[in-house]
Structure 1
Amino acid sequence: MNLCCRSIFQALVRVLAIFPLVALGVAATNTVAGAHEIRPAIVDLTVQDDGTVRLEMSLILEAALAEVGAEHADTDESPNAERYDSLRLLEEEALAAEFERSETRFVEGVRLMAGDERIPLEVETLELDPVGDTDFARLSRMTLTGRLPAGATELVYSFDASFGPSVIRVPGEEGTNSYSAYLDNGSPSAPIPVEGVITMTAGEVFVDYIGIGFTHIVPKGLDHILFVVGLFLLSPRLRPLLVQVTAFTVAHSVTLALAMLGVLTLPGSVVEPLIAASILFIAVENLGTDRLTRWRPYVVFIFGLLHGLGFAGVLNEIGLSPAHFASGLLGFNIGVEAGQLAVVAGCYALFGAWFADRPWYRTRITIPLSLAIAAIAAWWVVERTGLVG
């Protein structure tokens, strides 16, 4: 790289270095979900002494009414995105009217089984907020109730896949959850005992959370995927990749554990724009160097701390049972690592194995792909800080 290009690149890196600070400053004012973000419905199941079964739900009602679907990571990917966007513009009275027209369909999509018998549910309460800032999704609150059949000992819950993913939780003592599970694609919960608490072994929780961690990366974690791809693109050689991935893994493991223990917390409205800024920085740096610089591992480590907080947001929504906190946390972390290794393996199979020794690898692989990643990440920074809808 000649002196002029090097000077331009160094100036660009210095400008990008303040991007996280800008993102932090703007995002700190936002505390709700991005307009197009798919968030699971959070459902708390309780059985009262008189036999009433209650499902208290917090969800993005517009996404469920539009049937965006659990297979999408972003509402814009759904063929029903236009209907979702139109529902977001409605005031609470109009949205309530839309729900009333679709209430039967919605209630049919919330299944609660006692053995082979389905428990009929009805909407007891529905709380909607004013439309507010349409750059951000609003959460609605709903309570569904039903009657426990005579002799029922276990309940199984499921949520129609067309409504999106859901998290089922059974509240325990002192604000904890005796059971929680992330359900995707309409999958049913484990049988939940009517009396006592659900019994899951540490091994079952461990295996379950490996799957949750893996799917959070592949296929749903596009931002984390692009970050790992950015690390791979710097150089097809093993040593640079190993140094970067190790720094990233250690860092996000630390903040994930600290966040789940309640020692360190930051709202998603702050973390998500910073994660986007980290991807942008890595992609742009790839354009200016083809080797591991002395500061790159430290930068990757700092960004890994941010990504760990992003992972913690997923676990906080699900709610780890205190009885299996360690096994769930370990399983989730292993699942995340397996997802990252799958991304690295995919990159190697597509590019490294075939083109690593070609003299044009950097000009035809690294630079074009890094430019594409930088463009996507730059858009995410702007979008996640609420500067555009």
Structure 2
Amino acid sequence: MRALVQAVGALLLWLLLFGMGSAPLQAHLLNMTKVQLNLGADGTVVVDLSLDLTRAAEGGAGYYQFSRSATPLTDAALAPLLGRLAMAIDVRLDGAAIPLQVSEVRLPSTLPEAEFLSPVAWPMTEVRLRGSLPANAGGALQLRFDPAFAFEEPIALTLQRPDNGGRMTRWLVAGQLSPLFPLQANAVTVATVSEPAWQTLARYLRFGFLHIVPHGLDHMLFVVGLYLGTRRLRSLLVLVTTFTVAHSLTLILASFGALRVPASVVEPLIALSIAWIGIENLRVDRDRASRSRVLMVFAFGLLHGLGFAAALKELGLPPSNFVGALLSFNVGVELGQLVVIALALLLTFRWRQHESWRRWIVVPGSLVITLLALLWAGQRLIA
């Protein structure tokens, strides 16, 4: 009976880790919707979207079938979905709606069916919509994304006037109004919608959490590696706290522009740091966190902080509450890490002090972590 219980515990951990293994090979990817609105000098409005249609297609199987269409704009099954998408993007000029129509669609037609069925792979569809402003239009634009359509959040919105006359980037959620964006390039500033500070903080807290659970699979593997690396919960707390302090430091410095490292350098090193943790777990059986391991985790935390900063910088922070949003994002990241540790404890706590802990849990789990991380490192170096 005891052997059966041990086997079940080991199987659960293996399933967890193999589920992570099907993650996309690029790090710090959020399964989000990217939207860019460009205003032409002739009054045209062009909206380019990059989005995952899995939920809108009622599942990966349906999305895969859509992706095989050679004529998506006239496809009897896909065209209604695209029509709903166009209706769900509410662009208004001084309160008056600007109708949009889908003009181009680029489906992920080269991806295998497994990518559509995987719960942690995100095939992206590129959609272009067009509209027109009234003649001699002035005033300001405002956007809202209807929650009735299954947009993946956050929604990264960028608005661009002609000839780089003005640009604004914001994170939104479905149902939220964007800031006002003046059409005139000589406007003093981009007008903003009054939003309570707590709503801004709550949004960025959520974004930080989502960046770990479920989208930050490389960071999740790192935290699981720390969990497997010591039996004592006190030592685990020391390691996780060290990691938190380190990545918070570089996240803050990078967000303020004081530290810049190319993603082409950071991403492979992050993957190698995960592999290193797995190899250390395989090589040494520890009951506590040694000084050398604490220093190593601190160094790796600095790397991961740069990765967090890259994800945050891609979309920007609100100027009106820059520091608060930054700190909220970081708190969301920490909450995500705590959830990962809590799940690992829930699955394996009863066996942490058991004599078979290393044989059934640590060795196979660390081996999977190492192999996946080395695979990621190789692919990121090639990319």
User: Which TM-score applies when normalising by structure 2?
Assistant: 0.68
Contact 1:44 1:170 in 2 (8 A): yes
Residue by residue, what CA displacement relative to the aligned partner does 1:102-154 show, whole Å, maximum 9, x if unpaired?
Answer: 79554641423359986421468999xxx9xxxxx999795733447999995
**What are the equivalent positions in structure 2 for 1:322-361 lying under 5 Å apart?**
322-352=319-349, 354-361=350-357
Residue by residue, what CA displacement relative to the aligned partner does 1:268-314 show, whole Å, maximum 9, x if unpaired?
Answer: 33322221111111011001112233311111111111111111122
User: Matched residues in 2 for 1:223 and 1:70: separation?
Assistant: 27
Contact 1:251 1:308 in 2 (8 A): yes
> Cα 1:150–1:267, aligned 2, differ >3 Å: closer, same or farther?
closer
Contact 1:180 1:319 in 2 (8 A): yes
Partner-residue secondary structure (3-state), 2:244: helix
User: Matched residues in 2 for 1:251 and 1:151: separation?
Assistant: 46
Contact 1:126 1:143 in 2 (8 A): no
Does residue 373 of structure 2 align to residue 373 of structure 1? Answer: no
1:144 paired residue number: 130
> Cα 1:192–1:263, aligned 2, differ >3 Å: closer, same or farther?
closer
Contact 1:107 1:121 in 2 (8 A): no
Residue by residue, what CA displacement relative to the aligned partner does 1:336-378 show, whole Å, maximum 9, x if unpaired?
Answer: 00000111111111112x1122122122111111111112212
Contact 1:214 1:338 in 2 (8 A): yes
User: Matched residues in 1 for 2:356 and 2:178: separation?
Assistant: 57
Count of aligned pairs: 323
2:35 paired residue number: 43
> Cα 1:345–1:263, aligned 2, differ >3 Å: closer, same or farther?
same
Partner-residue secondary structure (3-state), 2:382: coil
1:180 paired residue number: 170
Contact 1:255 1:309 in 2 (8 A): yes
Contact 1:259 1:265 in 2 (8 A): yes
Residue by residue, what CA displacement relative to the aligned partner does 1:183-207 show, whole Å, maximum 9, x if unpaired?
Answer: 4xxx333354466322223322111
> Cα 1:200–1:83, aligned 2, differ >3 Å: closer, same or farther?
same
Percent identity, please: 36
> Cα 1:241–1:341, aligned 2, differ >3 Å: closer, same or farther?
same
Contact 2:33 2:151 in 1 (8 A): no
Partner-residue secondary structure (3-state), 2:257: coil
Contact 1:252 1:308 in 2 (8 A): yes
User: Matched residues in 2 for 1:151 and 1:86: separation?
Assistant: 42
User: Matched residues in 1 for 2:67 and 2:262: separation?
Assistant: 24
**What are the equivalent positions in structure 2 for 1:155-174 lying under 5 Å apart?**
155-158=143-146, 160-161=149-150, 166-169=155-158
Does residue 196 of structure 2 align to residue 201 of structure 1? Answer: yes
User: Matched residues in 1 for 2:99 and 2:219: separation?
Assistant: 41
* 1:328 partner letter: A
Partner-residue secondary structure (3-state), 1:385: helix
User: Matched residues in 2 for 1:232 and 1:40: separation?
Assistant: 29
User: Matched residues in 2 for 1:251 and 1:279: separation?
Assistant: 15
* 2:239 partner letter: Q
* 1:120 partner letter: P
Judge which range, 163-172 or 366-375, deviates more: 163-172
User: Matched residues in 2 for 1:78 and 1:361: separation?
Assistant: 37
User: Matched residues in 2 for 1:36 and 1:216: separation?
Assistant: 7
| CA-CA distance at 1:42 after TM superposition | 3.3
Task: Choose the corresponding residue for 1:112, options 89, 106, 111.
Answer: 89
Partner-residue secondary structure (3-state), 2:291: coil
Contact 1:203 1:327 in 2 (8 A): no
| CA-CA distance at 1:238 after TM superposition | 1.9
1:3 paired residue number: none
Partner-residue secondary structure (3-state), 1:188: coil
User: Matched residues in 2 for 1:251 and 1:238: separation?
Assistant: 20
2:308 paired residue number: 311
Which stretches in structure 2 are left out of the alignment for 5+ residues?
1-24, 111-122, 183-190
- CA-based RMSD: 4.4
User: Matched residues in 1 for 2:238 and 2:369: separation?
Assistant: 21
